[in-house]
Amino acid sequence: AGNSIATDRSFIARDMPALDSFLHYRMIDVSSIKELCRRWYPRIYFGQPAKGLTHRALADIHESIRELQYYRRTAFVSPPGPSTSEIEAVAAQLAGRNDPPQPIDSAPGPPTG
């Protein structure tokens, strides 16, 4: 998970081929989701928590995970989506946190039907 992961993926393919064999050839990073929200859900895009300015590897990873949590809780929900106040509440809850992010929930299994 992260933002703009193409370079990271090239590094993994070159230096960690065993790990690369587990990864899908399609890459969806947090930046992709952010751009979709910018176009489809501007309220969500403009309501996102502010980013930190540390630009250190571990801090950037934690920030990307928090950003993905934000999109998971605001964009990937049942229609009509969250209200502005719900978006602000999620952003406030995730903003400025320096603790390691919690795991992102995922589907319990593959879709059926």
d(CA 20, CA 14): 9
Q: Which of 25, 41, 45, 71 is catalytic?
A: 25
**The one-letter amino acid at 12:** I
Distance separating the N- and C-terminal Cα atoms of the chain: 28
> Is 25 one of the annotated active-site residues of the chain?
yes
The two three-digit tokens of residue 90, written as one number: 């999620």
The candidate with the shortest Cα–Cα distance to 94, out of 66, 56, 71, is: 66
Tokens 């989701």, located at residue: 33
Q: Residues with Cβ < 8 Å from 92, sequence gap 6 or more? A: 49
Active site residues: 25
